Structure 1
Amino acid sequence: MAVRILIVDDDELSREVLALLADDAGYEVDTADSGDAALTCVRQLRPEVVLTDIQMPGIAGDELAQQLRSLCGAGTLLLAMSGSELGDGVGREFDGFLLKPFTMETLTAAIDGGLIRVEDRPAATDGVVLDEGVYTKLAGSMRDSQLEELYALCRKDAEARVERMRRAASIGDDAAYRKEAHALKGGCGMVGAVELQRLATSMEERGLRDDDVATLEEFVVASERLRRILVARKSN
């Protein structure tokens, strides 16, 4: 009987990619877009595994883990995930932590082993636009039209977040700027858009500086480079 897993992420792109890959790996998958939605799902579905982003608006992090545990009991595996390393003491209420992006093999190892911590360390990606391994796995899990829609969603999401980062930069809102960069990093990483992921990581770490606009323009150029690569793949 398939293991039932609830995937919780406020980022639509990350949530959709994870759900697709988990379903292809043989899991019975449900999704939620917030901590509150996750609590509702858990009351109704009783999943064996909850995989949740640890940085979301509203109830999240260890507070969410505590409430999930009170509903699920000790028999449910609670896994946290994030595009960034956790700070000291953060995530202590979870059974394990996965660093985005991670493979389904890593998730399976976490579920099978009841891990303390598992993470994938990506190889150096300087000069790489698209992770071939991630692209191949996604292409093998969906129709061509679905794959095209997925990457279109990635670029649309990136465009919206870049615009919000521009607005944040215009009013000097460093926290909002970093928040959008963090979401960009996670979403781009899940679809193998490694150049965009690398730039988003840099923007999150640096925050607002004198060259923030130039960095955003570099991201826009990189997004167009990804689009051209995907178009070329489609025509081959």
Structure 2
Amino acid sequence: MKNEIERLPILVVDDDALSREVLALLLENAGYAVKTADSGDAALKQLNAAPDSPPSVVLADLQMPGIAGDTLARELRRICGASTMLLAMSGSVPGAGSADGFNGFLLKPFTMEELSRAIAAHGNDTKALDTSVHDNATVLDQAIYNKLAASMRKERLKQLYDLCLADVEQRMTCMLRSASYSDSVAYRKDAHAIKGSAGMLGAIELQNRAALLEEGGIDANHVASLNELRVACSRLHRILVARNADSGAGSSEEDMRDEHSTEK
């Protein structure tokens, strides 16, 4: 039976479409009643439209354009009241004051178990995530992949990873353009988005490469660094193709067994 925390209504606020979709899917599969908003302004508009039924939890990304951070927290508290738990999330440790007004903070990527502990604590310090860099030879986190595979159909799982890879390719193009204009802010923002979405899907090598690009910003070797990111994409793609092939073979064997049993 689902516990009370898992049935709580929760509002996810994140400007990155892929991260928002993946997180919403994970939360729904964990038993939460999920609504989403693509910005702080959209979240406030949504909440103002139904002031008598605020969510039990608001999970908001700290690094969004428009209203965000402590300003968003104050507005959320004004509308939702003291009974709603406000949790901030980000792919980076927040700067001084940016998470003020929130009850807690979660470092992306986080598990549903860590979210449940944060909700149960309601304002107490959440368990810190292990933020050490993984071995770059590790392309895909098997545990995260297996959890996703167990929670959705194969076609949906493939779609999520395809969306992630397509998003990375698009953002790498934007990062090359940002580098040509010496726009470090935009460059780091795209790297941050890649890090977050890759982490949610267990794409460890992509996550680590993007984290290095976000931290280092534009440097003399940025073209080579982006090429390494592209190679990481290719490695992940090959692994996913192989897994899909194995899965298809397994299904075919099961079909053959079923057909054989029917003939008997």
TM-based fold match above 0.5? yes
Partners of 2:192 and 2:35 in 1: CA distance: 24
Identify if the C-alpha distance between structure 1 residues 174 and 230 changes in structure 2 by more than 3 Å, giving closer, same or farther: same
Runs of 4+ displaced beyond 3 Å: none
Residue in structure 1 matched with residue 230 of structure 2 by the alignment: 220
Counterpart position of 2:185 = 175
- One-letter amino acid of the counterpart of residue 121, structure 1: D
Equivalent residue for 2:243, pick from 230, 233, 236: 233
Aligned to 1:84: 92
Shifted more, 148-157 versus 39-48: the winner is 39-48
Letter aligned with residue 87 of structure 1: G
Describe the shift of the 1:232–1:122 C-alpha distance in structure 2 as closer, same or farther (beyond 3 A).
farther
Provide, for residues 129-179 of structure 1, a one-character-per-residue CA deviation record: whole Å limited to 9, x for no partner.
001111111111110000000000000111111110000011111111111
Aligned to 1:206: 216
Partners of 1:155 and 1:22 in 2: how far apart? 22
Q: Which amino acid aligns with 1:183?
A: A
Instruction: Spell out, residue by residue over 1:92-128, the C-alpha distance to the aligned partner (whole angstroms, 9 max, x if none).
Output: 1100000000000000111112133323215652110
SS in 1 for 2:100: coil
CA distance, structure 2, for counterparts of residue 183 and residue 46 of structure 1: 28
Question: Residue 69 of structure 2 contacts residue 100 of structure 2 at CA under 8 Å; is this kept in 1?
Answer: no
Match of 2:116 in 1: 108
1:23 and 1:122 map into 2 onto residues whose CA distance is 26
SS at match of 2:233: helix
How many residues get paired? 236
- Mapped contact 1:98–1:117 kept (Cα < 8 A): no
Q: Secondary structure at the match of 1:81?
A: strand
Q: What is the TM-score normalised by the length of structure 1? A: 0.97
Moved more, 42-51 or 125-134: 42-51
- How far apart, in 2, do the equivalents of 1:124 and 1:11 lie? 23
Q: Which 10-residue stretch deviates more, 74-83 or 174-183?
A: 174-183
Gaps of 5+ in 1: none
* TM-score using structure 2 length: 0.87
Closer/same/farther in 2, CA of residues 122 and 130 from structure 1, 3 Å limit? farther
Q: Which runs of 5+ in 2 are unaligned?
A: 247-264
Trace 1:144-183 onto structure 2 (pairs within 5 A). 144-183=154-193
Deviation of residue 41 (structure 1)? Answer: 2.1
- For 2:184 and 2:133, the matched residues in 1 are separated by 28
Shift of 1:42: 1.9
1:39-64 CA-partner distances (Å, limit 9, x unpaired): 12222251110001010011111111
2:130 to 114, 121, 125: 121
CA gap 1:134/1:32 in 2 versus in 1, 3 angstroms: same
Question: What is the aligned partner in structure 1 of residue 67 from structure 2?
Answer: 59
User: Alignment partner of 1:140: what SS?
Assistant: helix
Match of 2:140 in 1: 130
Question: SS where residue 151 of structure 2 aligns?
Answer: coil
Overall identity of the aligned pairs, in %: 55
Query: How far apart are residue 13 of structure 1 and its match?
Result: 1.3
> For residue 3 of structure 1, what is the aligned residue in structure 2?
8
Identify which of 41, 45, 53 aligns with 2:46.
41
CA RMSD of aligned residues (A): 1.2
SS at match of 2:59: strand
Contact 2:103 2:122 in 1 (8 A): yes
Tell me, yes or no, if structure 1 residue 19 matches structure 2 residue 29.
no
Report the residue type matching 2:237 in the other structure: R
